[in-house]
Amino acid sequence: MSNNKLAAIIIDDEKLARDLIRNYLKQFDTIKIVDECENGFEGIKSINENNPDLIFLDIQMPKLNGFEMLELIEENYNIIFTTAYDQYALKAFDVNAIDYLLKPFSKERFKEAVEKTIEKISNSGRPIIKSSLPKLFPTEEKLKRIVVKKNNKIVIIPVDTIIYLEAQDDYVNIVTPDGSYLKQNRMKYYEEHLPNSFIRIHRSYIANLNDIKEISLLEKDNRIVILKNGNRLQVSKTGYKLLKEMIR
Amino acid sequence: MENPLVKNNSRTYLITVIVIMGLSFFLLLYFLFDTNVEISILDSLITSLFFALISLSLWYPTNYISLDNYSLEKVILNNILIAIVATSLWLYLSYLIVTTIFHEYEEFFLYTSIWRFTIGLLLFIISIILNYVIIYYNNFTEKVLSESNFNALITEAELKSLKYQINPHFLFNALNSISSLTISNPEKAQEMSINLSDFLRKTLSGNDIKKISLKEEIESIELYLKIEKVRFEKRLEFNLDITEECKDILIPNMILQPLIENAIKHGVYESSERVEITLSCRRKENIVEIKISNNYDPSAVSNIGEGIGLSNINRRLKLIYQRTNLVSITKLDNIFSVLLLIPIDDSAIKDFSNE
């Protein structure tokens, strides 16, 4: 930053919403808007290019919403959410947002949020350590899609195409007919947020009931499921209990 | 419980019965027993008047000895006793009055007292049976009436619960746009706030049970879309394709609005390309076909719930028109369409309006 101004990006699909933030920001001569984006895809690209000090982020956007976009960003950024939806406020603080502005917001409220950011940056600079908590999509609803990044490409996986998930250290391997994708997250999260057709059959596996061909007994208390694609997965005792309940 | 025999609608019936009874008594006395005219008239008049008086008062014991509280044998036994007491009373009172007026008539009255008693007893029993029939019939109609009232209440309550409700996010986002326009384009801000007010007035005062013309429904949809168009600009396009004869057709209030909102939610919210929403209407004999379609981004896996919008509309139409299969959905070539069939025949329409 040559002139020591803070770089800001505005990500919102509505032009008037972006205009308002641009107008409100006029009172801060220490902040420079380096880009405006209309959706999450543009947002990711712009963040990687501009490495902003501050991001104004809408949640409900076409293609990739604000939270999904954050899931795909490696580093931590200073985020101020701007949205008409109040139900995501708790989630926003889970991803260490600086503030959560409910549309329509006043100039004073906006000023407060920006000053908070400036103070935080002058104290500690940009947070460098990625939060240890994985960034998750709002918890109230069941997941309908999962976004992942593979070979620098963003892939949106509809959950009903997932065959099974496998735990791999800090990651979860998501297996679909089109290939498998690694996502940093915990199995527990998917166990709770995938639709009911997904069953935790083992400490390391969550299987899609629709893709199970048969359950077979190898020896006493040692069962496996055979999937329609031929894969074989271990089944634990509790996993077998859950399976039995679901099939009944 | 009020005696139905003294109610207005039963009065003619009561008078007819007494007149018939008096007349037959008179004919019997005059022709069969050769009694002179004056005495025959007086006798039959007095006896039938007393009969009317006593049989009317029997309504109360009948109500008291109801079949709901007593066994059948007890009811029959009690009523026979009552009939005997009533007949005796009736005979004694008639005797007293008639013989006071005509002393010489006493012998003849006593001579005919056996058949007087028999006929009287029979008539009292019939009148008691009639009372039971009336009670039963009243209870029955009351039950049917209250049941149909109850059903109408349930339907109305359900219709109210399915009422269109304005989406708060639409409201907050629109207000945010106005807030932004007050800086960049105050005139447009004013226009938008007026459009928003008009739309709110229409939806907040709207009675969902009432029917309005398609023209009126389209007016409020256009207001709504004007507001959304300020937000989404070129991303939203609206086409109207309706024939003149469709404009005055009555449809349930706010039945299309949720479909337009759905089209925006799943079309415009989820796509960065332009989304075209088309509303078309054709009349086919006694049915109007209203179709709302929008293109959508097939690659967008919606993270927004399917919503209760469509099933709500289905349920509302079913309740209002008492018919199923009025809503159908098609997805073809990345175009999502909802087809509504609205029956025109007014007799098939159940009107729940309170006016």
A103 closest CB neighbour out of B173, B181, B270:
B173
Question: In chain A, which residues have their Cβ closer than 8 Å to the Cβ of B298?
Answer: none
Does the pLDDT at position B91 exceed 50?
A: yes
- Calculate what percentage of chain B has a pLDDT beyond 70: 89
CA B320, CA B309: separation in Å to the nearest integer?
A: 17
Q: Where in chain A is the domain with CATH 2.40.50.1020?
A: 145-247
Q: Taking Cα atoms as reference points, which of B220, B231, B287, B232 lies closest to residue B256? A: B220
b vs e for B93-115, b when ≥16 Cβ sit within 10 Å of the residue's Cβ? bbbeebbeeeeebeebbeebeee
Instruction: Taking residues B331-345, report their average pLDDT.
Output: 88
Sign of torsion over alpha carbons B50, B55, B56, B61? positive
User: How do the pLDDT tens digits run along chain A, 248 residues long?
Assistant: 445 789 999 999 999 999 999 999 999 999 999 999 998 999 999 999 999 999 999 998 888 889 989 988 878 899 999 999 888 888 888 788 899 999 999 999 999 999 999 998 888 755 544 444 444 544 556 788 898 988 888 888 989 899 999 999 889 999 999 999 999 888 998 998 899 899 999 999 999 999 999 988 888 878 999 999 989 999 999 999 988 888 77
Residue pair B239/B225 in contact by the 8 Å Cβ criterion: no
B272 to chain A: which residues are within 8 Å by CB?
13, 38-39, 62-63
pLDDT band at B353 (very low <50, low <70, confident <90, very high): very low
By Cβ distance, the residue of A65, A103, A156 closest to B176 is A103
Instruction: Check whether B123 has a pLDDT greater than 90.
Output: no
Buried b (16+ CB within 10 A) or exposed e, A48-79: eeeebbbbbbbbbbbbbbbbbbbbbbeebbbb
Q: Where in chain B is the domain with CATH 3.30.565.10?
A: 164-348
- Which residues of chain A are within 8 Å of residue B305 when distances are taken between CB atoms? 141
Confidence of residue B307 (pLDDT cuts 50, 70, 90): low
Q: Report whether pLDDT(B101) > 90.
A: no
Distance from CA of A24 to the nearest CA of B (A): 10
- Interface contacts A/B by beta carbons within 8 Å: 74
Report field, pTM of the whole predicted structure over 0.90: no
DSSP 8-class letter at B13: H
With CA atoms as reference, report the closest residue to B310 among B288, B282, B289, B338. B338
Mean pLDDT of B315-323: 88
Instruction: Give the residue on B whose Cα is nearest the Cα of A68.
Output: B303
Domain B164-348 has CATH 3.10.129.10: no
Interface of chain B against chain A, CB under 8 Å? 168-169, 172-173, 175-181, 183-184, 230-233, 268-272, 297, 299-303, 305
For residues B292-320, average pLDDT? 77
At residue B61, does pLDDT exceed 50? Answer: yes
Domain A145-247, CATH homologous superfamily name and number = LytTr DNA-binding domain (2.40.50.1020)
Does A104 sit within 8 Å of B172, measured CB to CB?
yes
Cα B86 to Cα B79: distance, rounded to the nearest angstrom: 10
Q: Does domain A6-124 have CATH number 3.40.50.2300?
A: yes
- Alpha helical stretches, state H, B162-271: 168-184, 186-205, 214-232, 257-263
Quick one: which of A29, A38, A93 has its CA closest to A67?
A: A93
Where, residue-wise, is CATH 3.40.50.2300 in chain A?
A: 6-124
CB atoms within 10 A of CB A162: 26
DSSP category for residue B324: S
Q: Kindly determine whether residue A14 and residue B175, on different chains, have CB atoms separated by under 8 Å.
A: no
Q: State the Cα–Cα distance between residues B223 and B234, nearest whole angstrom.
A: 17
The pLDDT value recorded for residue A130 is 46
Please give the pLDDT value at position B120. 87
| Phi, psi dihedral angles at B232 (to 5 degrees) | -100, -5
Tens digits of per-residue pLDDT, B17-33?
778 878 888 888 888 87
Comparing CA positions, the residue from A213, A193, A215 lying closest to residue A202 is A215
For an interface test with A, the pick among B172, B175, B176 (most A C-beta atoms closer than 10 Å) comes out as B176
Q: Would you call B336 helix, strand, or coil by DSSP?
A: strand
